């Protein structure tokens, strides 16, 4: 009887959270999935002056979208490739730089608390503030980067005017914003590793590299796996940085799926196709999460399931 009452108490405390999640997450999600099977646009969506007249079109949006993937000048294919490049490069640098900083901050160095605080600033500052600041520094004539390059005798770089440099520019901004999260997460994982393991390894004559490879990485794997999944999800859906810095340009060279879905909805007013892009994004992330978790489990030597 006591256990049952405790369960009801738990559900009682969870009810407000579940209600908020249902209203803010699940209801819009289901509604977006439904809209992806319609031809909704600005003319048939309805208003206070006219009732909605959109109709269900079944899988037509999905068929049209994936059929366009095989066209020679497919924008959808280019956007997918750019999204994958954007996500992989950002998460790679997030993890590598974050792990390096975490290893440094895990050592007993003077002023470690101050360094941690300073390295958390990019994450504490709102992303739109960082985007505007970096956009100013990318200015071809008056930007900080090109002024420094000209002082050193180099030609100015068209940071936001060239397709390649525009992608480099937004990646630099997102790496700046995302590294602190990865650093602090991995630092927490490092501090949970028992120091006695390293002491035993040093007694056995293990080198620092051997300790890192055989102790640090295996025991850090659960934390790293979770942080990587979160990093992929956030980077895949990073709308703010790209939209505020380049707006997907020049000539869609920095467009990713989430910004293109926004363009389809609020510039082309094709809500049905925009919802289809949203479902495709969700499918990509679900497939990656499931596959990544299975690979981590298969490669785990500790029998840990997460």
The pLDDT tens digits for 151-209 are 999 999 999 999 999 999 999 999 999 999 999 999 999 999 998 998 999 888 888 89
Decide if 130 contacts 173 (C-beta within 8 A).
yes
The Cβ of residue 78 has, within 10 Å, a number of other Cβ atoms equal to 15
What confidence category does residue 47 fall into, taking pLDDT thresholds of 50, 70 and 90? confident
Both tokens of 46, joined, read: 């309805």
Q: Would residue 142 count as lying in a domain?
A: yes
Query: CA nearest 57: which of 40, 32, 38, 33?
Result: 38
Q: Would residue 285 count as lying in a domain?
A: yes
Give the Cα-Cα-Cα angle 248, 253, 255 (nearest 5 degrees). Answer: 40
- The pLDDT of 267-284, averaged and rounded, is 93
Q: What is the pLDDT of residue 113?
A: 78
Percentage of residues in the chain having pLDDT higher than 70: 96
Measured in whole angstroms, the distance separating CA 9 from the mean position of its chain's CA atoms is 36
Q: What is the pLDDT of residue 98?
A: 94
- The rounded distance, in Å, linking the Cα atoms of 43 and 30 is 22
87-to-113, 182, 205, 229, 252 alpha-carbon distances in Å? 31, 15, 40, 11, 16
- The rounded distance, in Å, linking the Cα atoms of 288 and 66 is 19
Q: Would residue 29 count as lying in a domain?
A: no
Q: Would residue 25 count as lying in a domain?
A: no
> Judging by beta carbons within 10 Å of its beta carbon (0-12, 13-18, 19+), is residue 73 exposed, middle or buried?
exposed
**Residues 10-30, buried b or exposed e (16+ Cβ, 10 A)?**
eeeeeeeeeeeeeeeeeeeee
Is the pLDDT at 306 greater than 70, yes or no?
no
* Total count of domains within the chain: 1
Residue 97 lies in domain: 84-299
Which of 136-145, 200-209, 284-293 ranks highest by mean pLDDT?
136-145
For residues 53, 56, 59, 63, the Cα torsion angle rounded to the nearest 10 degrees is -20
- The rounded distance, in Å, linking the Cα atoms of 259 and 252 is 10
Q: What is the pLDDT of residue 297?
A: 76
Is the pLDDT at 271 greater than 90, yes or no?
yes
What confidence category does residue 300 fall into, taking pLDDT thresholds of 50, 70 and 90? low
Q: Would residue 106 count as lying in a domain?
A: yes
Decide if 223 contacts 188 (C-beta within 8 A).
yes
- The rounded distance, in Å, linking the Cα atoms of 292 and 232 is 11
Decide if 23 contacts 17 (C-beta within 8 A).
no
Cis peptide before 250 (omega within 30 of 0): yes
Decide if 174 contacts 90 (C-beta within 8 A).
yes
What confidence category does residue 280 fall into, taking pLDDT thresholds of 50, 70 and 90? very high
Q: What is the pTM of this model?
A: 0.88
CATH of the domain at 215: 1.10.3720.10
Decide if 279 contacts 33 (C-beta within 8 A).
yes
What's 159-212 look like in SS3? CCCCHHHHHHHHHHHHHHHHHHHHHHHHHHHHHCCCHHHHHHHHHCCCCHHHHH
Q: What is the pLDDT of residue 161?
A: 92
- The rounded distance, in Å, linking the Cα atoms of 124 and 35 is 36
């Amino acid at each position: 009887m006591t256990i049952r009452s405790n369960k009801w108490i738990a559900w009682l405390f969870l009810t407000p959270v579940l209600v908020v999640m249902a209203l803010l997450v699940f209801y819009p999600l289901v509604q977006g999935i439904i809209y992806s099977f319609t031809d909704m646009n600005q003319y048939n969506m309805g208003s206070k002056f006219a009732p909605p007249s959109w109709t269900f079109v079944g899988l037509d949006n999905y068929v049209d979208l994936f059929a366009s993937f095989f066209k020679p000048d497919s924008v959808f294919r280019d956007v997918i490739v750019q999204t994958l490049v954007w996500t992989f490069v950002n998460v790679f640098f997030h993890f590598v730089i974050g792990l390096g900083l975490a290893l440094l901050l895990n050592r007993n160095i003077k002023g470690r608390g101050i360094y941690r605080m300073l390295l958390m600033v990019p994450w504490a500052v709102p992303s739109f503030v960082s985007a505007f600041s970096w956009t100013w520094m990318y200015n071809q004539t008056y930007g900080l980067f090109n002024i420094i390059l000209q002082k050193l005798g180099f030609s100015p770089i068209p940071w936001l005017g060239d397709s390649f440099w525009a992608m480099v520019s937004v990646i630099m901004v997102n790496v700046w914003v995302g590294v602190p999260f990865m650093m602090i997460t991995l630092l927490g994982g490092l501090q949970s590793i028992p120091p006695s393991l390293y002491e035993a390894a040093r007694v056995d004559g293990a080198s620092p590299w051997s300790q890192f490879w055989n102790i640090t990485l295996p025991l850090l794997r659960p934390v790293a796996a979770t942080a990587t999944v979160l990093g992929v999800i956030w980077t895949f859906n990073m709308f703010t940085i790209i939209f505020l810095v380049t707006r997907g340009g020049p000539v869609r060279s920095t467009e990713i799926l989430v910004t293109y879905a926004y363009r389809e909805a609020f510039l082309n007013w094709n809500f049905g196709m925009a919802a289809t892009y949203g479902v495709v994004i969700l499918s990509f992330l679900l497939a990656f999460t499931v596959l990544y978790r299975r690979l981590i489990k298969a490669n785990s030597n500790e029998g840990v399931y997460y």
